[in-house]
């Protein structure tokens, strides 16, 4: 397995938005490989895991000089396991990435695009669950949704009104829940009238009414999967001309809110990368748990590579007598690296 990765460490939103592929585009990327292919796209990263040549993958992605990192066999698996453990996220230990990774893998698997990649992804997902159960890396409730809600809580004293667009998505649903729990009066848009039946406490309005609702809002939050701008500056301007201070939070990629809004008087615009300081504080608190998580990742990787080695050298292992086989499998459990070395040395494949 190999991987091409573009994330928030290497590229800002302006670059990442070029690779914010839709589900149909992701499926097309995966289908381009004769071997397996899994495309992962989140607000912070675009990654392609594949069984093929690097040049082929770069052509399929149309990298165009973007700073994609390339992971070869062995390192690609390590990166995948660390990603599942929450060690590569802007917010170390955030749980959303595990669900996003599982969703990307399942979508590719159901489309028949994961040949040769299944074992690695299944082991990585299991590793991510183990890290969260055996460490405190997820002990602090911290995600983009919680950080955004905290920003709304601080935007003014007293009662706060928020307009939320995209509240039926995963991040939006979490954001809506946090806002309501914090006592914010939320108006949320819907495209279908029944979409907000479960949003107890939120007022629902048609998506088409979003601009008019800005006038009453102290904070406007948008987190849709739309490829188009949800709030255009020209259409928004009349509703922001009253001098009222407003906080705009854009958690979408590509962005939902015209970046020019951030330059307006009395308007503050926070994008995905605007929560770096809060993320740094979260990561500082989780430093000890992150060290433990790295140890678990290393152990899980060793177990995975030993299992793959056992498959590769199955003919050699089958020729051993029962006593030798038991001894070797005991070694696999106690020292996976030594097991792999023994198989390579004695299995006749160097």
> Which residues are tagged catalytic?
43
Residue-wise over 233-264: b if at least 16 C-beta within 10 A, else e?
eeebeebbeeeeebbbbbbbbbbbbbeebeeb
Judged by DSSP in three states, 341 sits in: helix
Q: Determine the Cα–Cα distance for residues 8 and 75; give it in Å rounded to an integer.
A: 19
Closest CA to 257 of 284, 224, 229: 229
Q: Determine the Cα–Cα distance for residues 226 and 189; give it in Å rounded to an integer.
A: 14
4 close to 213: Cβ distance less than 8 angstroms: no
43 close to 253: Cβ distance less than 8 angstroms: yes
248 close to 276: Cβ distance less than 8 angstroms: no
Judged by DSSP in three states, 21 sits in: coil
Name the strand (E) or helix (H) holding 150: helix 144-153
Residues in a beta bridge with 240: none
Look at the alpha carbons of 90, 17, 70, 32 in this order and tell me if their dihedral is positive or negative: positive
- Phi and psi torsions of 222, nearest 5°: -135, 135
- Phi and psi torsions of 101, nearest 5°: -65, -40
DSSP state of 115: T
């Amino acid at each position: 397995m190999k991987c091409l990765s573009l994330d928030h460490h290497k590229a800002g939103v302006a670059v990442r938005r070029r690779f914010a592929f839709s589900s149909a585009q992701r499926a097309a990327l995966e289908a381009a490989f004769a071997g397996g292919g899994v495309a992962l796209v989140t607000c912070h990263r675009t990654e392609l895991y594949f069984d093929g040549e690097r040049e082929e993958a770069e052509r399929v992605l149309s990298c165009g000089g973007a700073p994609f990192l390339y992971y070869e066999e062995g390192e690609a698996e390590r990166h995948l396991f660390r990603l599942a453990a929450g060690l590569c996220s802007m917010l170390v230990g955030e749980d959303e990435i595990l669900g996003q990774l599982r969703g990307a893998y399942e979508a590719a698997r159901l489309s028949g695009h994961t040949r040769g990649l299944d074992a690695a992804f299944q082991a990585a997902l299991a590793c991510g669950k183990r890290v969260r159960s055996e460490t405190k890396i997820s002990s602090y409730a911290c995600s983009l949704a919680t950080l955004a809600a905290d920003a709304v809580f601080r935007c003014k004293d007293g009662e706060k009104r928020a307009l939320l667009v995209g509240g039926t998505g995963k991040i939006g649903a979490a954001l809506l829940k946090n806002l309501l729990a914090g006592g914010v009066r939320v108006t949320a848009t819907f495209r279908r009238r029944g979409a907000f039946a479960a949003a107890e406490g939120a007022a629902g309005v048609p998506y088409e009414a979003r601009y008019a609702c800005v006038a009453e809002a102290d904070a406007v939050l948008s987190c849709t999967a739309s490829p188009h701008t949800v709030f255009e500056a020209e259409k928004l301007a009349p509703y922001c001309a009253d001098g009222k201070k407003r906080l705009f939070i854009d958690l979408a990629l590509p962005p939902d809110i015209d970046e020019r809004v951030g330059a307006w008087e009395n308007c503050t615009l926070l994008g995905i990368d605007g929560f770096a300081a809060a993320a740094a504080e979260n990561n500082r608190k989780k430093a000890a748990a992150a060290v433990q998580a790295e140890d678990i990742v290393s152990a899980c990787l060793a177990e995975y590579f030993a299992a793959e080695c056992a498959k590769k050298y199955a003919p050699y292992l089958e020729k051993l007598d029962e006593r030798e086989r038991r001894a070797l499998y005991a070694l696999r459990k106690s020292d996976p690296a030594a097991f792999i070395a023994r198989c390579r040395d004695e299995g006749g494949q160097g």
